[in-house]
Structure 1
Amino acid sequence: MPRLFWKFFAIIWLTFVVGVGAVILIVNLFQIPPPGRDREYQERAIILALTANVLARDGEEAAQRFIRTSEVTTPLGLTLSKMADPSACTGEGTAEMRTVLKDATCYRISVAPEASFLLNIMDNLALLVPWLAIFVSSTVAAAALARYLIRPVVHLRDGLSALAHGRFDFRIGDQMAGRRDEVTALAHDFDSTAARLQELQDAQQRLFHDVSHELRSPLSRLQAAVGVLRQSPARLGAMLDRMDREVERLDTLVGEVLTLARLTVGSGLPLKTQTLDVIELLNEILGDAAFEAQAREVSITTGVDGVFRAEVEGELIYRALENVVRNAVKYTADHSFISVSCEATADRLKICVTDQGPGVRRDELERIFQPFSRGKDAVPRGGYGLGLAITRQAIERHGGRVHASLPEAGGLAITLELPRQPRSFGRDFT
């Protein structure tokens, strides 16, 4: 980064120096006196001009009187002398001398020359002061501007280095020190990216923990069944049935974890879509769920009218709808009713599934869509808390959205919105 700093510094510094130096050079070409001395030069020029005018108009005696009076008020060493050669009166003069031809006599009017060595040094220093001021001010300005431009780049480099080393908690937005420009927006985008990476890392670690925890329970029961068999071989039949159930649970868990992983990892891959009637698919699921709900005397909407043909990946949508319906059947109260409604428009389908179960707390409405998450007050009734997570991933992959709400009559309502044509992942409806 020092190389980039020196590049910025050199460019800015040269721009300052060349620009202001050009101005001073132009001023010097017009022979403008050094700062602070122009008034003295003007006085000398005026006195010489007035004396020459008096001499040319009124003669030598009047000029001598004017010189005596002038020296009293402004002593400049003003003198008037005759020149032996009248042809020397060329009419041209300098800053310290004038010649005047009067009555065929050549007169020379002069002021004392500035022979002071100290004054010459001061004049030279006066000429150097602007250049020195330019050098100092341009150096300071170039360094400050280069540092202002490079500092956020340094912060970004530190942030990227931190991300490369797995430090997703590193933030740089608060180091912009009140900047309001594109670099600040880039820093906040970096912070958002880092926060998202940290969130994904936390979710991954939580998923590993939850999967290991969920796998441990059936494996422990399998080990217990094997231990019982070794002690009591006569219970072979009962233990084999128990082992079959645990293996089936393991298979279900692994299948749901693989489905969720495929949805998460493949979120950027294109969908394998086909044209399906989503309402017909929903009615098929409702028919199976109604048959299973009879054991708890739970009634469920068994048919939804209408047709909604959409471009979807059938397996994902089937899993999404089935998870929501079966989740409602699982948690609704005995002898209750599950309501399923559909609202179709030209470009989307809205499905709402409402149960009469214990529901969840309002602050848990988003958490229930996370893997292995259930409401804290929910009664365990099998499952692993992956169904709603799979549903959200599947619907959002099609460009839809899923959200939960709490009906006034109690229970839980899950609403799914599915577009007729797949849209970019995570895009909301307007």
Structure 2
Amino acid sequence: MPRLFWKFFATIWLTLAATLTVIIVIVNLFQIPPPGRNREYQERAIILKLTTNVLARDGEDAAAHFVRTSEDAVPLGLTLSKIADSTVCGDESTAEARSVLKDGTCYRISVAPEASFFLNIMDNLALLVPWLSIFVSSTVAAAALARYLIRPVVHLRDGLSALAHGRFDVRIGDKMAGRRDEVTALAHDFDSTAARLQELQDAQQRLFHDVSHELRSPLSRLQAAVGVLRQSPARLGAMLDRMDREVERLDTLVGEVLTLARLTAGSGLPLKTQTLDVIELLNEILGDAAFEAQAREVSITTAVDGVFRAEVEGELIYRALENVVRNAVKYTADHSFISVSCEATADRLEICVTDQGPGVTRDELERIFQPFSRGKDALPRGGYGLGLAITRQAIERHGGRVHASLPEAGGLAITLELPRQPRSFGRDFT
């Protein structure tokens, strides 16, 4: 970043230098005396003027007496002399001498010459010292200001370089040295972006690990079935049935993974919406779920009253609702009850599904929405832990939200909030 630093430095310094140069030119143009010599020049001018006035009004004797008295008080080398050629009297008048014509005689009033050459140099240096000091201080100020402006840019460049190389653990917000400006806000936005990218990378790695683990189990069972067939061809029928089940499990798993991948990858694509009654769609799912729950003597709310017509992508919303309801049927206790309620407003529908299963711990309320995640105390009842992840992705693509809670009576409650009109997709991670 040295080039940008020198650009900032040169711009600031040249601006200050140009301003000071203009001031110096103005000072020289109007012949402003050096600060240390200003009083002496004023004294010379006053003495010459007074002597001139005394000579013109009272004559030579009075002027000579004034010169002697003045020299005794303030010795400036004041002298009074006559000029033989009176025709040139009054032609020359300088800061050190005056010519006065009195009674036909030309008098010359003068003071001692200016200081010596050495003193003149000192006067000039005295005049230059303030400006040199200002130039030095402006140089230091320009360097400090340029460094102050460039430092956060350097940190941002280093952070972006780290992101480009796949290092998402870099943070630069704590390097802003107490700044409170737009650059600091940009640094914190960078940290939020890096944290989100790190979260996505961790989720991707975890997904790869979980998918490989879930695929390995049915593949191992298929390999075992093939091994049994080679040793005992007579068990062909039983092994084929087992292989069919494992292939079906593989097909289901791949379908769930593809659905989740499609939802994640297509988060920026527009939804293919149509107007549907979401409550009617929910009642269809509840009817199917009630039939399946009979095997475990589980009762469930079979119908919800009301109408809520919304612009939704039907397949996604159906999958989202079905996953939550079937998840509740799967994990609720035998001989228990599943409650489903809806609360509709002008622009929003809230659906709450509550089961009486083992539930989860409070620190797992968010984790159960991650792919291949289940509660620690959940009994193995099939499935791959992708249902709630798909539900959250589908609802959030419509601008809604999904969250879990723990009812006081036990179990788990999943709440879905769906807007009547789709909104921009994306959770707030700030």
TM-score category by the smaller chain? over 0.9
- My pick for the range that moved more, 226-235 or 155-164, is 226-235
Q: Deviation string for 1:23-82 (max 9, x for gaps)?
A: 221122221101211011111111111222222222222222222222222211111111
Q: Deviation string for 1:107-148 (max 9, x for gaps)?
A: 111111025121121123234334423432232222222222
Displacement after TM superposition at 1:429 (Å):
16
Displacement after TM superposition at 1:273 (Å):
1.2
- My pick for the range that moved more, 41-50 or 87-96, is 87-96
Displacement after TM superposition at 1:421 (Å):
1.3
- My pick for the range that moved more, 258-267 or 66-75, is 66-75
Look up the SS of the partner of 2:223 in the other structure: helix
Gaps of 5+ in 1: none
Structure 2 CA distance for aligned equivalents of residues 354 and 92 of structure 1 = 112
Q: 1:194 to 1:427 in 2, by over 3 A?
A: closer
Displacement after TM superposition at 1:200 (Å):
0.6
- Whether contact under 8 Å (1:320, 1:395) holds in the other structure is yes
Gaps of 5+ in 2: none
Look up the SS of the partner of 1:291 in the other structure: helix
Displacement after TM superposition at 1:427 (Å):
6.6
Displacement after TM superposition at 1:428 (Å):
8.4
- My pick for the range that moved more, 156-165 or 323-332, is 156-165
Displacement after TM superposition at 1:305 (Å):
1.3
- Whether contact under 8 Å (1:91, 1:98) holds in the other structure is no
- Whether contact under 8 Å (2:192, 2:429) holds in the other structure is no
- My pick for the range that moved more, 5-14 or 158-167, is 5-14
- My pick for the range that moved more, 231-240 or 110-119, is 231-240
- My pick for the range that moved more, 249-258 or 152-161, is 152-161
Look up the SS of the partner of 1:24 in the other structure: helix
Displacement after TM superposition at 1:211 (Å):
0.7
Q: 1:427 to 1:166 in 2, by over 3 A?
A: closer
Structure 1 CA distance for aligned equivalents of residues 117 and 241 of structure 2 = 117
Q: Deviation string for 1:305-336 (max 9, x for gaps)?
A: 11212111111111100000000001111100
- My pick for the range that moved more, 325-334 or 181-190, is 181-190
- My pick for the range that moved more, 410-419 or 183-192, is 183-192
What is the aligned partner in structure 1 of residue 263 from structure 2? Answer: 263
- Whether contact under 8 Å (2:44, 2:76) holds in the other structure is yes
- My pick for the range that moved more, 187-196 or 85-94, is 85-94
- Whether contact under 8 Å (1:400, 1:426) holds in the other structure is no
Q: Deviation string for 1:153-186 (max 9, x for gaps)?
A: 2221111111111111111111211222211111
Q: Matched residues, percent identical?
A: 91
- My pick for the range that moved more, 335-344 or 217-226, is 217-226
- Whether contact under 8 Å (1:274, 1:314) holds in the other structure is yes
Displacement after TM superposition at 1:232 (Å):
2.2
Q: 1:428 to 1:111 in 2, by over 3 A?
A: closer
Look up the SS of the partner of 2:35 in the other structure: coil
- My pick for the range that moved more, 321-330 or 29-38, is 29-38
- My pick for the range that moved more, 394-403 or 140-149, is 140-149
Structure 2 CA distance for aligned equivalents of residues 355 and 282 of structure 1 = 16
TM norm structure 1: 0.96
- Whether contact under 8 Å (2:341, 2:353) holds in the other structure is yes
Q: Deviation string for 1:241-288 (max 9, x for gaps)?
A: 222211111111111111000000000001111121111111111111
- My pick for the range that moved more, 259-268 or 338-347, is 338-347
What is the aligned partner in structure 2 of residue 371 from structure 1? Answer: 371
- Whether contact under 8 Å (2:353, 2:413) holds in the other structure is yes
Look up the SS of the partner of 1:267 in the other structure: coil
Displacement after TM superposition at 1:2 (Å):
2.4
- Whether contact under 8 Å (1:398, 1:425) holds in the other structure is yes
Look up the SS of the partner of 1:350 in the other structure: strand
Look up the SS of the partner of 2:214 in the other structure: helix
RMSD between aligned alpha carbons? 1.9
Q: 1:83 to 1:429 in 2, by over 3 A?
A: closer
- My pick for the range that moved more, 301-310 or 60-69, is 60-69
Look up the SS of the partner of 2:339 in the other structure: strand
Count of aligned residue pairs for this structure pair: 430
Displacement after TM superposition at 1:91 (Å):
7.0
Displacement after TM superposition at 1:87 (Å):
2.6
Q: Deviation string for 1:360-383 (max 9, x for gaps)?
A: 111211111111111112222211
Q: 1:295 to 1:238 in 2, by over 3 A?
A: same
Q: 1:429 to 1:277 in 2, by over 3 A?
A: farther
Structure 1 CA distance for aligned equivalents of residues 265 and 183 of structure 2 = 31
Structure 1 CA distance for aligned equivalents of residues 36 and 205 of structure 2 = 76
- Whether contact under 8 Å (2:36, 2:123) holds in the other structure is no
- Whether contact under 8 Å (2:287, 2:302) holds in the other structure is yes
Structure 2 CA distance for aligned equivalents of residues 382 and 34 of structure 1 = 96
Displacement after TM superposition at 1:92 (Å):
5.5
Displacement after TM superposition at 1:343 (Å):
1.2
- Whether contact under 8 Å (1:343, 1:349) holds in the other structure is yes
- My pick for the range that moved more, 222-231 or 126-135, is 126-135
Q: 1:275 to 1:115 in 2, by over 3 A?
A: closer
Structure 1 CA distance for aligned equivalents of residues 194 and 350 of structure 2 = 34
- My pick for the range that moved more, 409-418 or 96-105, is 96-105
Structure 2 CA distance for aligned equivalents of residues 85 and 421 of structure 1 = 109
Structure 1 CA distance for aligned equivalents of residues 217 and 297 of structure 2 = 30
- Whether contact under 8 Å (2:274, 2:312) holds in the other structure is yes
Look up the SS of the partner of 1:338 in the other structure: strand
TM norm structure 2: 0.96
Look up the SS of the partner of 2:112 in the other structure: coil
What is the aligned partner in structure 2 of residue 23 from structure 1? Answer: 23
Q: 1:15 to 1:28 in 2, by over 3 A?
A: same
- Whether contact under 8 Å (1:401, 1:428) holds in the other structure is no
Q: 1:238 to 1:378 in 2, by over 3 A?
A: same
- Whether contact under 8 Å (1:360, 1:412) holds in the other structure is yes
- Whether contact under 8 Å (2:329, 2:355) holds in the other structure is yes
Structure 1 CA distance for aligned equivalents of residues 8 and 257 of structure 2 = 53
